[in-house]
Amino acid sequence: MGKVAVAFAAAAVVAACSVAAVMVRRRVKSRRKWRSVVEILKELEEGCDTPVGRLRQVVDAMAVEMHAGLASEGGSKLKMLLTFVHELPKGTEKGTYYALHLGGTYFRILRVHLGGERSYLDVQDVERHPIPSHLMNSTSEVLFNFLAFSLERFIEKEGDGSSSQGVKRELAFTFSFPVKHSSISSGVLIKWTKGFEISEMVGRDIAECLQVALNTRGLDMHVAALVNDTVGALSLGYYHDPDTVVAVVFGTGSNACYLERTDAIIKSQGLLTTSGSMVVNMEWGNFWSSHLPRTSYDIDLDAESSNSNDMGFEKMIAGMYLGDIVRRVILRMSQESDIFGPSSSLLSEPYVLRTNLVSAMHEDDTPELQEVARILKDLGVSEVPLKVRKLVVKVCDVVTRRVGRLAAAGIAGILKKIGRDGSGGITSGRSRSENQMQRRTVVAVEGGLYMNYTMFREYMEEALVEILGEEVSQYVVVKAMEDGSSIGSALLVASSQ
């Protein structure tokens, strides 16, 4: 070999070595980055951990807070609001009734016709529309004019076939925000939640606002009841099955109500009802306990929300927030490594990852996780390898599992308070008779998160059995109530006529 050839070969070896060195360095670097992402996941898993012992502490805290909220006004973060609903629909109601439901994301209008027997419940003309976002921080006039206008259009479509032509129409207003009631048909707004901000409405009578808007439009409709969405769901549950004593909503927000004995509502002594009980709207979104597994993502989400330091439980379990917790985790992963490619500014936008997208990714059963890839692409993250897509699914799983398990703990807390968890309840003077322990208890559940997210539902139901034990959980039935909050509110108007 000549000198030139030797020099050439030597240079080639050096070049090959340095290429190899660069590749090794890159591999080491990428492994280190992958490790940092795995660390973030591990930290998330630890932060979201909900072993059954911890869930039981949440159950106890919920039952204790319920008790405190019933004992005195302001005695707990749980407001435990009186609803003045003491009779639930029995199934013998007759007539045609309307419901208008303002939720957190959707508003719905429907008409029900009741024939005097359970099987004669005819739900007619259900309309469901997204609430135009500008209404959420408009004025009360704009909001109620919009609702009255929507009702007017709904009624115009009825034509001559309507059974209630010429008769004043009785309307239930299902309102999914905290209200302090003075009767079943009147009450003032305590505060907004779920991103609504029309401050001038706080303290005003919600039913009256709607009635005035209807009158102004010349609509012959009477706002006969102002109903929390949970109370609507309870009413529909009870109509079909009188063992229904608890209702929970998992939608944009989350809340629960249940049937309480009036003598346990200590803060309203002398409260007399014909049934000896009253539905209590817990407003459980505001529940808080140091036993709740709170992560840095929850803390940041709360700090950046329009209602910080408020609605702590809702922010951990409701549909409005679940997606944003997942987004925050993915964003951090993308900032601390390049596994998602060049960082996407879209991912930094609050609430851009909606919970329906989380469930679509979580439940993606295509072999290559194409749905995950598609959704990530829409978020400005394209061409992520399968390994990273799997990681995203894992994040969805960890967050949703926590939501499901905390939801179950909340429900078990109510069961404990009313002595249906097999433990005889807390200090409410209930007897521990065998009989009471084994009464069948139906929990009516509704809301978009529950109805559409199978994995959430499964985690919740699994945890409920884990908390209550196999034996007691045989007596606890969770029943889905699609559109329960709207239909049930109309039934409530019917039963209060």
Measured distance CA(256)–CA(280) in Å, rounded? 9
Looking at the Cβ atoms of 103 and 422, the one nearer to ligand ADP is 103
Specify whether the CB–CB gap between 259 and 245 falls below 8 A.
Answer: yes
The stretch among 16-24, 119-127, 428-436, 444-452 that binds ligand ADP (CB under 6 A) is 444-452
Q: Which residue of 68, 71, 75, 106 would you call a contact of ligand ADP, by CB under 6 A?
A: 106
- Provide the token pair at 55: 């869930």
Q: Is 232 a residue that touches ligand ADP (CB under 6 A)? A: no
By the 8 A CB rule, do 207 and 173 touch? yes
CA torsion 143→145→146→149, rounded to 10°?
160
CB of 249 to Mg ion, least distance (A): 5
Say whether residue 93 binds Mg ion (CB under 5 A): no
Tell me the CA distances in angstroms from 387 to 128, 368, 370, 376, 406, one per residue in order.
Answer: 39, 10, 12, 14, 29
- State which of positions 317-356 bind ligand ADP (CB under 6 A): 319-320, 355-356
Residue 497 corresponds to which tokens in the numbers above?
A: 């006529």
237 binds ligand ADP (CB under 6 A): no
Site for ligand ADP contains 256 (CB under 6 A): no
Please work out the total of residues on this chain that contact Mg ion, with binding judged by CB under 5 A.
3
Considering only residues 212 to 231 of the shown chain, the ones binding Mg ion according to CB under 5 A are 229
Per-residue x/- track, 86-105, ligand ADP (CB under 6 A): -----------------xxx
Residue closer to ligand ADP (CB basis): 242 or 350: 350
* 150 is an interface residue for ligand ADP by CB under 6 A: no
Among 69, 89, 91, 103, binds Mg ion (CB under 5 A): 103
HSE (side-chain half, CA atoms, 13 Å) at 90: 9
Q: How far is CA 93 from the centre of its chain?
A: 30
145 is a contact residue toward ligand ADP (CB under 6 A): no
Q: 356 contacts which partner out of ligand ADP, Mg ion, none, CB within 5 to 8 A by kind?
A: ligand ADP
The distance of closest approach from Cβ of residue 358 to ligand ADP in the complex, given in angstroms and rounded to an integer, is 7
Count of positions on this chain that bind ligand ADP (CB under 6 A) = 17
Give 285 or 319: the residue with its C-beta nearer to ligand ADP.
319
Task: Report in angstroms how near the CB of residue 175 gets to Mg ion at its nearest.
Answer: 10
The answer to whether 69 contacts ligand ADP (rule: CB under 6 A) is no
User: Which residues between 453 and 492 bind ligand ADP (CB under 6 A)?
Assistant: 453
Query: For residues 266-305, which are near ligand ADP according to CB under 6 A?
Result: none
CB of 104 to ligand ADP, least distance (A): 4
Residues contributing to the site for ligand ADP (CB under 6 A): 103-106, 176, 251-252, 319-320, 355-356, 359, 447-449, 452-453
Residues contributing to the site for Mg ion (CB under 5 A): 103, 229, 251
